[in-house]
Amino acid sequence: MDAVAGVGPVTVRLAFPPEPRLLGTVRLVVGIVARKTGMGAEGIEDLKVAVSETCAVAVGDLTRAGVRDPIEIDLVEGPDRLGIEIRDRAPAHVQDPGGPGDGDVDDRELGLALVGALVDDLKTSTMEDGGNRTSFWLRRGPELLDPATGGLSLDPLGLPDDLPPPLT
């Protein structure tokens, strides 16, 4: 399995086409996974905002570039934190020809600033063969650890072993 965000092997991998209408579903799934790791309500909300904002930027970039390749999200459960890596195939820095959104507010910059404030160790990079990689992690909190195991509590979720290969 791949290592993500310096946390550990991939626990759950999602892939979805770059369509804005799917962001709500992505938030729902990410929230369920986070809850199964024992993450608290506030952490889950932070995670949903961070993932949604990052994916919204990717959806916008991919749409403007006319690229339909899926966006991939890896979630990695560590002993005390949840690591996230989001990958897309958008050309680097695809600018919105319309400029800032409503009210002269640059939604993209606002969104990235929001992510930076909510998560730890935010990293963005361009992948060797194109596309973008964003990674970060959120602490699960000591009260969230499973007392029986001293740590992990995530169910296997019934995921198949033959997950698609990463985009890299």
**Coarse DSSP helix, strand, coil percentages of the chain, rounded to the nearest 5 percent:** 35, 25, 40
DSSP character for 165?
P
- By CB under 8 A, residue 125 contacts another protein: no
Distance, CA of 82 to CA of 147 (rounded, Å): 18
Q: Reduced to 3 states, what is the DSSP secondary structure of residue 14?
A: strand
Q: Which of 1, 24, 68, 79 binds another protein (CB under 8 A)?
A: 24
Least separation in angstroms between CB 49 and another protein: 7
- By CB under 8 A, residue 96 contacts another protein: no
Q: Which of 1, 3, 113, 157 binds another protein (CB under 8 A)?
A: 113
Which segment (2-10, 24-32, 64-72, 150-158) binds another protein by CB under 8 A? 24-32
Which segment (64-72, 107-115, 133-141, 149-157) binds another protein by CB under 8 A? 107-115
Distance, CA of 108 to CA of 9 (rounded, Å): 30
Least separation in angstroms between CB 24 and another protein: 3
HEC string for 21-71: HHHHHHHHHHHHHHHHCCCCHHHHHHHHHHHHHHHHHHHHHHHHHCCCCCE
* Residues at the site binding another protein, with contacts judged by CB under 8 A: 20-21, 23-25, 27, 42, 45, 48-49, 52-53, 56, 59-60, 100-105, 107-108, 110-111, 113-114, 117-118
